[in-house]
Chain A
Amino acid sequence: MRKQPRSMVRLMALRGIVQRFSLVILLLAAFGLMMLAKIDTVLIDTVRNRVTDLLTPFMELIAEPASTIAGVVEDAQELTDLRAENAYLRQENRTLRQFQEIAYRLEAENISLRSLMNYRPDRPHAFLTARVVADNSGAFVRSLGLNVGANNGVASGQTVLGSRGLAGRIVQVGDRSSRVLLLTDLNMRVPVMLERSRERAIVAGDNTAFPRLLYLEDEADVAVGDRLVTSGHGGMYPSGLPVGNVVSIEENEVRVRPIEELDRLELVRIVDFDQGSDAAQFITSLGAVSFGAGGGAAAGSAAGSATGSGAREATPEPLLPGAPLADTVAQTPQPAATAQ
């Protein structure tokens, strides 16, 4: 009977100490977690994935109306400058038609040259379309949360594309959610080459909107507006994916504008170039990875007819529009996006 109060007093005293030093204890716990994250990433990643999996359906629920509101605002903005945009699009259409003619010619030439050289085409790739449910591109981390995960066949390291080109890479995968590290993130490095001069370099994110171009040779032939495509070095990304354009050249700093509007991505394509994933949600395409307005529209329409556990499937499109070419693509195995 007498011992109980004494133990109670001890307990109370302990509680008092814990309360008094709770700030220090919690701060130490936070620092400890930061240390642990540097040492044991598996444990931390498991916890992180579990929580993200739990929250993703909820975030999807909030993201839908937010996306609708953003869409209405965008529509209103577009209505105001419809005339100017129309004129711009007409001009662009004329230019694109010229490019189309050139592309048809090159395509035909490529096909005949390939048959002459007995060229071995790249392996087919598989892809699935996912919705962006969390935009985490704050000042310190540039990443996006997606509504697909390991259950849909997504794996760490897979390439993520927008409707125009490279957007980033999958870095974290839960069962029903995943995270894309964007091209602009501090930890992102992509081996690229300048499409015009074939000079090689590395696009390195630094948390600003325009990543830097590193390891470019001193005498390199580079100009503002030059297009960059992945070089395929290191094996992380296949060659020929559009990355961006050179936007500024200063004394010892070249900056790149990513080809994708990374802060406006709504749907992205996760591409498995290695065919490591055998999940049913991935659609295998024999053609090259295609970009352009058609790509975005196809992804959008595919999202409308979504099936299964949040996975969106998109159908493969040909490299360029037009029936004759589509037939050729279907019959002839295709190399990577750019004709080499």
Chain B
Amino acid sequence: MSTSLLTRVDQGVRNAVPSLVTCLFLVISVVPLRIPLFGPVSPLLALACLYYWGVHRPDLMPLLVVFMVGILHDILIGATLGAHAVVYLVSYWLLVSQRRFLSGRNYLILWWGFLLTAMIAVALEWLVFSTLEQHLMPVEPLFFRVLLTAALFPLVGWIMIQLHRFVVPQPRLA
């Protein structure tokens, strides 16, 4: 009995890893780097995490977690609560709806898919914030934000693959 409980706790902790790592990447993305003009183009690291788990193990990244990641993002950057929740929810939903096309494909296609997801997410971000502030936000930094986010995807993806392999084993067939 205690063994089965331990197994369940162990599995629970393993299953929580994708959510916790996404939150960690979110916190890392707001640490001050003191690089001039970096702020407006800072990459959406959490989106890369959401994308990876959305394609490979959407069961470990439920919509409620995506919502909470968005709320945490808003709290961390001092934005209106709910703004990034909308951005992440819609992007994630679109991603999961295209999952059949992306899953099992080679790395270049996954990267291309992420570039598209990042474009959609940043465009949504722009739309939500422009509406909230009733002011058209500057567009120029957003191109670089998309490019930088996409450029960092291999690094984030590599870390996620390691985590996927060692921390979250494929569910056993029982």
With both beta carbons as reference points, the residue of chain B lying nearest to A62 in the complex is identified as: B31
Given contacts A30-B70, A263-B37, contact A66 B32 (CB under 8 A): yes
For the complex of A and B, 10 pairs with smallest distance between CB atoms = A137-B39, A33-B82, A135-B32, A30-B85, A136-B77, A30-B82, A34-B82, A140-B129, A139-B40, A26-B67
A22 adjacent to B63 (CB under 8 Å): yes
Cα distance A132–B30 in the bound complex, in angstroms: 11
A34 adjacent to B83 (CB under 8 Å): yes
Considering only residues 15-41 of chain B, those with a C-beta below 8 Å from chain A are 27-28, 30-41
Task: Answer whether residue A247 sits at the interface, using C-beta atoms and an 8 A cutoff.
Answer: no
B-side residues, CB < 8 A to A, are 27-28, 30-42, 62-64, 66-67, 70-72, 75-83, 85-86, 89-90, 93, 125-126, 129, 132-133, 135, 137-138, 141-142, 145
Given contacts A23-B93, A135-B31, A186-B133, contact A44 B40 (CB under 8 A): no
With both beta carbons as reference points, the residue of chain B lying nearest to A262 in the complex is identified as: B39
A-B contact pairs, 22 of them (CB 8 A): A22-B62, A26-B67, A27-B89, A30-B67, A34-B83, A55-B27, A66-B33, A133-B31, A133-B32, A135-B31, A135-B34, A138-B77, A139-B41, A140-B79, A140-B133, A141-B79, A179-B78, A186-B135, A207-B40, A207-B137, A208-B138, A209-B37
A-side residues, CB < 8 A to B, are 22-23, 26-27, 29-34, 36-38, 44, 47-48, 51-52, 55, 58-59, 62-63, 66-67, 70, 74, 132-145, 171-172, 179, 181, 186-187, 206-209, 261, 263-266
B85 adjacent to A135 (CB under 8 Å): no
> What residues on B are CB-neighbors of A208 within 8 Å?
138
> What residues on B are CB-neighbors of A209 within 8 Å?
37
B85 adjacent to A263 (CB under 8 Å): no
With both beta carbons as reference points, the residue of chain A lying nearest to B125 in the complex is identified as: A140
> How close is A162's CB to chain B, nearest CB, in angstroms?
12
A30 adjacent to B32 (CB under 8 Å): no
> What residues on A are CB-neighbors of B90 within 8 Å?
27
Cα distance A30–B124 in the bound complex, in angstroms: 14
> What residues on A are CB-neighbors of B129 within 8 Å?
140
A139 adjacent to B64 (CB under 8 Å): no
Q: Which single member of B75, B85, B125, B132 contacts A48 (CB below 8 Å)?
A: B75
Cα distance A288–B151 in the bound complex, in angstroms: 48
> What residues on A are CB-neighbors of B63 within 8 Å?
22-23, 26
Taking each of A26, A186, A206, A263, which has the highest tally of chain B beta carbons within 10 Å of its own beta carbon? A26
> What residues on B are CB-neighbors of A62 within 8 Å?
27-28, 31
Cα distance A180–B135 in the bound complex, in angstroms: 21
Cα distance A133–B30 in the bound complex, in angstroms: 9
Q: Which single member of B31, B62, B83, B145 contacts A134 (CB below 8 Å)?
A: B31
> How close is A281's CB to chain B, nearest CB, in angstroms?
22
Cα distance A26–B36 in the bound complex, in angstroms: 37
Q: Which single member of A27, A136, A138, A186 contacts B86 (CB below 8 Å)?
A: A27
Cα distance A207–B126 in the bound complex, in angstroms: 12
> What residues on A are CB-neighbors of B42 within 8 Å?
138
Cα distance A75–B82 in the bound complex, in angstroms: 40
A138 adjacent to B32 (CB under 8 Å): no
> How close is B82's CB to chain A, nearest CB, in angstroms?
4
> How close is A71's CB to chain B, nearest CB, in angstroms?
8
Taking each of A30, A32, A47, A142, which has the highest tally of chain B beta carbons within 10 Å of its own beta carbon? A30
With both beta carbons as reference points, the residue of chain B lying nearest to A131 in the complex is identified as: B32
B89 adjacent to A135 (CB under 8 Å): no
> What residues on B are CB-neighbors of A139 within 8 Å?
39-41, 125-126, 137-138, 141-142, 145
> What residues on B are CB-neighbors of A34 within 8 Å?
80-83, 86, 132
